[in-house]
């Protein structure tokens, strides 16, 4: 894999913790990278900078084209402009892209959610043009240009085509804002008709679109909208699948890209070791894809989904311990993934043939839970085989009958002892891997017999 130079902005609050976790998992996935660490947010002021977004940080992103950013804090009431707004405007990051989908193991009101919100990032009401007309009366100007509307529409259709999405839905309020939102619709229609007739196209007034989202979000694919609508709807959609802590985010321009988890800096839990880096790790997968490593991005994405299905790291506010992180790193390695797939395939056949009914599961929907539980056993056993964790059990024979029935303790011990787990900790070798994933020994996982 080619070596990349990436600007790292740790950010504030839990930012340094979650970006450090993302770095470890990226390196474990095989990314060859030189990190250029630079400040932004409140931490930049603490380091003696005059602005929350130092010019040297902007210059580095301009030079290296890509940045991984943690959540930052902009001091309120002190005259500083938002770091995120400054980045978007100075680097012309015109497309905010946020994929939203269900993760196995995180139960929500909705199933089958898999959509992408594409938001125009530079204009609209966020242009920041406000005036006091007369005392007590103010106006805020909504800006829409043909250049920006056409650019974001073309980006959305190109994105949908490359990822084999079927449809784009534009959210708007052109029935009221006939000129600004009318121009947005005009540009989107023109791009679809002239350049991307392969993509289905529809329009929804924003209030009706939001109602559709909470009624049946699974039938929507790519959503395209202007700045303010995109800001609101992207957070609404995150709530459909578990919250801001389980969705990635990116800000894309023609000459640079900044990848960031969209949750806040959570200063109240900073330094306590309970920050969940899930969103930052998922964001890293988006970055890998943009850097031209789709296979590694898919590997990392599958590893994260398997880890979440197995119960590693809860939804917001969540806890992701060093043990969870270590198992997540192991899950990015080819060997345990191959073994896990093989074991799960055999296990599924075994259940389907002789054990499905006695477990009392209602149908195929139960497979996510069962396979997630088994994936965790595989990762635990692999970690134990490598000697990177120390595990203590209350009762080696205390497992439930359904696990003992699948594989005997002599064949695959973790299955019969996991329910008796008393304590697990990362030992010195495991800590070395957390510090440097490249130190992971190449020890294979033994296959169960039979």
User: What tens digit of pLDDT does each residue of 187-219 get?
Assistant: 999 999 999 999 999 999 999 999 999 999 999
Max CA separation in the chain (angstroms): 84
The reported pLDDT for the residue numbered 361 is 38
Contact 416, 404 (CB under 8 A): yes
Each residue of 213-256: pLDDT tens digit? Answer: 999 999 999 999 999 999 999 999 999 999 988 899 999 999 99
Give per-residue pLDDT as tens, 317-355.
344 556 666 666 666 665 555 555 554 454 444 344 333
Total domain count for the chain? 2
Give the structural domain span for 401: 322-439
Spatial neighbors of 297 by CB under 8 A, at least 6 apart, are 285, 286, 288, 289
Asked whether residue 262 is assigned to any structural domain, the reply reads no
Task: State the pLDDT at residue 323.
Answer: 63
Over range 115-143, report the average pLDDT.
93
Cα–Cα distance, 67 to 260 (Å, whole number): 8
| Of the candidate ranges 114-118, 177-181, 437-441, the one whose mean pLDDT is the lowest | 437-441
Chain segment 42-56, per-residue pLDDT in tens: 899 999 988 899 999
How high is the pLDDT of residue 356?
35
Single out the residue in 179, 209, 241 at which a domain terminates: 241
**121 shares its domain with 231:** yes
Which is the catalytic residue, given 126, 229, 382, 403?
A: 126
pLDDT classification of 449: cutoffs 50, 70, 90: very low
Q: What are phi and psi of 245, to 5 degrees?
A: -75, 0
Catalytic choice (207, 216, 255, 436): 207
**pLDDT at 103 > cutoff 90:** no
What pLDDT does residue 297 have?
84
Domain membership flag for residue 157: yes
Domain-located, residue 412: yes
305-308, long-range: CB < 8 A, 24+ apart? 305/103, 305/104, 306/331, 306/340, 306/372, 306/375, 307/331, 307/375, 307/379, 308/103, 308/104, 308/105, 308/106, 308/246, 308/278, 308/372
Mark whether 235 and 326 lie in a shared domain. no
Out of 12, 181, 221, 231, the active site residue is 231
The model's pLDDT over 356-412, given as tens digits with 9 standing for 90+, comes to: 333 333 334 344 444 555 555 666 666 766 677 776 554 444 433 333 333 333 333
């959570």: which residue's tokens? 266
In CATH, what number is assigned to the domain containing residue 185? 3.40.718.10
Residue 110 among the catalytic residues: no
Is residue 132 very low, low, confident or very high in pLDDT (cuts 50, 70, 90)?
A: very high
Last residue of a domain, one of 177, 211, 241: 241
Same domain, 116 and 236: yes
User: Has 402 been annotated as catalytic?
Assistant: no
Q: Tell me, yes or no, whether 237 and 326 share the same domain.
A: no
What's the average model confidence in pLDDT over 289-305?
82
Q: Are residues 217 and 335 in the same domain?
A: no
**Is 231 one of the annotated active-site residues of the chain?**
yes
Higher pLDDT, 16 or 342: 16
User: Across residues 160-165, what is the average pLDDT?
Assistant: 93
* Token pair of 245 as six digits: 């802590």
> Which of 4, 121, 1 lies closest to 63 in space, CA to CA?
4
Confirm whether 290 is domain-assigned.
no
> Is 379 a member of any domain?
yes
> Per the domain annotation, does 196 fall within a domain?
yes
Identify whether 1 is part of a domain: no
Q: What is the C-alpha to C-alpha distance for residues 382 and 363, in angstroms, rounded to an integer?
A: 30
- Mean pLDDT in the chain? 78
pLDDT digits (tens, 9 = 90+) for 80-102: 788 888 899 899 999 999 999 99
Residues 6+ apart with CB under 8 A from 76: none
Q: Which of 69, 173, 201, 418 is catalytic?
A: 173
In a domain, 315, yes or no: no
What is the pLDDT confidence band of residue 77, given thresholds at 50, 70 and 90? low
**Same-domain pairing of 235 and 330:** no
Which of the four pLDDT bands, split at 50, 70 and 90, describes residue 126?
A: confident
First to last CA, the chain: 38
Same structural domain for residues 335 and 232? Answer: no
Query: Quick one: pLDDT at residue 236?
Result: 96
Res 429: pLDDT? 75
The 3-state secondary structure of the chain reads: CCCEEEEEECCCCCHHHHHHHHHHHHHHCCCCEEEEECCCCHHHHHCCCCCCCCHHHHHHHHHHCEEEECCCCCCCCCCCCCHHHHHHHHCCCCEEEEEEECCCCCCCCCCCCEEEEEEECCCEHHHCCEEEEECCEEEECCECCHHHHHHHHHHHHHHHHHCCCCEEEEEECCCCCCCHHHHHHHHHHHHHHHCCCCCEEEEEEHHHHHHHHHHCHHHCCEEEECHHHHHHHHHHHHHHHCCHHHCCCEEECCCCEEEECCCCCCHHHCCCCCCCCHHHHHHHHHHHHHCCCHHHHHHHHHHHHHHHHCCCCCCCCCCCCHHHHHHHHHHCCHHHHHHHHHHHHHHHHHHHHHHHHHHCCCCHHHHHHHHHHHHHHHHHHHHHHHCCEEEEECCCCCCCHHHHHHCCCCCCHHHHHHHHEEEEEECHHHHHHHHCHHHCCCCCCCCCCC
Answer with the one of 241, 273, 295 that is the final residue of a domain: 241
**Could you tell me if 375 and 309 are in contact, meaning their C-beta atoms sit under 8 angstroms apart?**
yes
Rounded to an integer, the average pLDDT of 3-24 is 91
- The whole-number pLDDT of residue 306 equals 65
173 a catalytic residue: yes
């Amino acid at each position: 894999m080619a070596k990349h130079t990436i600007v790292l902005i740790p950010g504030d609050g839990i930012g340094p913790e979650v970006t450090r976790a993302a770095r470890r998992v990226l390196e474990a996935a095989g990314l060859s990278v030189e990190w250029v660490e630079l400040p932004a947010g409140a931490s930049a002021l603490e380091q003696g900078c005059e602005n929350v977004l130092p010019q040297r940080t902007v210059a580095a992103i301009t030079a290296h084209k890509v940045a991984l950013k943690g959540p930052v804090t902009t001091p309120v009431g002190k005259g500083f402009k938002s770091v995120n707004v400054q980045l978007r405007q100075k680097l012309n990051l015109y497309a905010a892209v946020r994929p939203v989908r269900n993760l196995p193991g995180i139960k929500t009101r909705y199933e089958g959610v898999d959509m992408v919100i594409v938001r125009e990032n530079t204009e609209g009401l966020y242009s920041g043009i406000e005036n006091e007309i007369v005392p007590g009366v103010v106006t805020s100007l909504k800006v829409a240009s043909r250049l920006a509307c056409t650019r974001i529409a073309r980006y959305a259709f190109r994105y949908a085509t490359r990822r084999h999405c079927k449809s784009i839905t534009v959210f708007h309020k052109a029935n009221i804002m006939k000129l600004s939102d009318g121009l947005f619709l005009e540009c989107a229609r023109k791009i679809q008709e002239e350049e991307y007739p392969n993509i289905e196209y529809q329009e929804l007034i924003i209030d009706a679109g939001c109602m559709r989202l909470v009624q049946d979000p699974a039938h929507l694919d790519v959503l395209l909208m202007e700045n303010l609508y995109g800001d609101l709807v992207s957070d609404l959609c995150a709530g459909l699948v578990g919250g801001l802590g389980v969705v990635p985010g990116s800000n894309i321009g023609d000459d640079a890209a900044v990848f960031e988890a969209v949750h806040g800096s959570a200063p109240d839990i900073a330094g306590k070791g309970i920050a969940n880096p899930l969103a930052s790790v998922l964001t890293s997968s988006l970055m890998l894809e943009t850097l031209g490593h789709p296979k590694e991005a898919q590997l990392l994405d599958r590893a994260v989904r398997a880890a979440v299905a197995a119960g590693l790291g809860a939804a917001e506010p969540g806890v992701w311990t060093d043990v969870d992180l270590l198992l997540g790193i192991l899950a990015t390695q080819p060997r345990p993934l191959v073994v896990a797939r093989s074991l799960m395939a055999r296990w599924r056949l075994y259940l389907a043939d002789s054990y499905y009914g006695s477990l009392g599961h209602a149908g195929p929907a139960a497979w996510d839970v069962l396979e997630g539980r088994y994936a965790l056993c595989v990762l635990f056993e692999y970690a134990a085989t490598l000697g990177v964790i120390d595990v203590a059990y209350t009762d080696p024979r205390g497992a439930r009958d359904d696990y003992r029935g699948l594989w005997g303790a002599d064949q695959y011990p973790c299955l019969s002892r996991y329910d008796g787990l008393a304590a697990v900790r990362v030992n010195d070798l495991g800590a070395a891997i957390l510090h440097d994933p490249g130190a992971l020994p190449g020890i294979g996982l033994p296959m169960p017999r039979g």
